Every structure is written in structure tokens, then in C-alpha cells.
Amino acid sequence: MALIKYRNVEIHQQELCVLNDVNLELHKGEFVYLVGKVGSGKTSLLKTFYGELDIAAGEAEVMGYDMLHIKRKHIPQLRRKLGIIFQDFQLLTDRTVYDNLEFVLRATGWKNKGEIKGRIEEVLTLVGMSNKGYKLPNELSGGEQQRIVIARAVLNSPDIILADEPTGNLDVETGRAIAGLLHDISEAGALVVMTTHNLQLLREFPGKVYRCTDHLMTDVTAEYNPAEIDN
Ligand SMILES: Nc1ncnc2c1ncn2[C@@H]1O[C@H](COP(=O)(O)OP(=O)(O)OP(=O)(O)O)[C@@H](O)[C@H]1O
């Protein structure tokens, strides 16, 4: 069963039609890139997946929710099932890494102190930051902060991770490590969808590739096949 299924979807930003005729079927375990020029609609499309931007027309399903008719009150329920890695969702700067993660677990219903501690240790280990729980976010490098943001996104083992330019502000090496981490998470069974301008990543971490251009989104996976990119 597809986790995200779009048919003939139209996406607007105010009066502007950003994308039309979007067709998608994305499943567990897939690693998916959204590429395209600045302003081509990648972020707008991601925002429709978690109910941040309304869909103007078509049929759209995310985790079984009908995104054209979803009630406002159901959007937080949907978001709890997603891991969102966006510039707008920064770490809280006034508390430690551990407290940032605990805050999310408590807000999503976790109560048992031992279980909370255990889960935080697990996700910090997953992102290679097991000894950084006591740090404040601004005591970490950009790449380390991004690892914590990923740890936060996977706390509740979501089936879908949405990442908007997760490697955007990072140097090449760190960006590659972050993409590798997300790729591992998809291999462990989650659907990961990320936007990027870094086409180099597509060769190193193969996945499905969709390009937004001229208000359309096209499957260009074959174009980015590692065997063909050298030519
Ligand atoms: N909040 C908004 N209000 C009005 N128009 C918007 C808003 N956000 C984006 N747009 C417009 O919608 C179009 C698509 O923007 P979007 O952010 O989805 O592009 P993008 O492909 O993610 O670009 P980038 O690579 O710069 O992140 C652009 O023309 C942009 O100006």
C-alpha cells in the first residue's frame, strides 16, 4: 500500500499555480529526491504532505488521510506519524539536546522516565551523537545540529520522513554524511522524501528522483541512474 498517493494534484501558493498534474505513489523503504530550480515548487509539494499547504484539486492520500478533506483537528495526528526536517523546525536553543528530545516525547504522550531515557539514547546512537545529550544546540556544529534534528524526527519511528534541503547549509563532507544517514533510515524501512540542489548526492545514494519544472513534476529517476551519469 502506498504511504503517499497523489493523482492529478494541483498546488497553489496564493493565486499562483505552482504545480499541476502531480502524480505520485510512494512506499515504505523508498528514498525519494525532489529536485528542480529555485522556486519550482519542491517545498510547496513537501508542505502538502503534512497539511501545511492546502491542495487545490485532484486526489491526495497521505498515511490513509484524504488530504483534500482532512479536518484541521486531524492534522496534528497526521504530523505525529511523520518525521519533519525543515528549516522552520529548529531546535529549542534554551535547553540541552536531551531536553529537546524529551520535550517531543512528552508532547507525544511518553510518560515513563526510563522509557524516555532509553529511546533518547537509541536515537542519539543512531545519529552518532550518543555523548552529546548534555550540550546546548549552539555548542554544536551545523552538521551536529542537523543530526540532532534527524534524531528528533525519528523519535516516534515514523513511517515517513520529510526533509527540506537537509544538507543545504553544510559543507560537502557533512552533507554527504547526513544524506547517508537518511538513506540508512530509508533502508531500515521508512519512506524518506528530501529536496536538494546537490545533484552529487543522487549518484552516491540512489533513489527515485522527481524534478519540478514549468509547473510540472516528472519522474527523472532513469536520468540519474549512476550508470548513466558518468556520460
Ligand atoms: N508563503 C508563500 N506565499 C506566496 N508564495 C509563495 C510562498 N511560498 C512559496 N511561494 C512561491 O511558490 C513558488 C514555489 O516555491 P517553493 O518554495 O515551493 O519552491 P522551491 O522549489 O522549494 O524553491 P527553493 O529551491 O528555493 O527552496 C515560488 O514562486 C514562490 O515564490
- Reference 18, options 104, 6, 46; nearest CA is 46
Residue 231's pLDDT band, with cuts at 50, 70 and 90, is: very low
Going by CA atoms, what residue is nearest to atom 2 of ligand 1?
13
pLDDT in tens, 152-195: 999 999 999 999 999 887 888 888 989 999 999 999 999 999 99
Angstrom CA distances, 210 to 127, 144, 181, 199, stand at 27, 28, 21, 12
ipTM attached to this prediction: 0.96
Residue 59 Cα to ligand 1 midpoint, Å, equals: 22
Q: What is the rounded distance in angstroms from the CA atom of residue 196 to the CA atom of residue 64?
A: 27
14 lines ligand 1 (CB under 6 A): yes
Least confident of 20-24, 125-129, 188-192: 125-129
167 lines ligand 1 (CB under 6 A): no
38 lines ligand 1 (CB under 6 A): yes
pLDDT in tens, 196-225: 999 999 999 999 999 999 999 999 999 887
By the 8 A CB rule, do 181 and 150 touch? yes
Q: Does domain 1-81+158-231 have CATH number 3.40.50.970?
A: no
User: Which residue ranges does the chain devote to CATH 3.40.50.300?
Assistant: 1-81+158-231
39 lines ligand 1 (CB under 6 A): yes
Half-sphere exposure of 216 (CA within 13 A, CB side): 4
Pairing of strands 208-213, 216-219: antiparallel
Q: What is the rounded distance in angstroms from the CA atom of residue 35 to the CA atom of residue 51?
A: 21
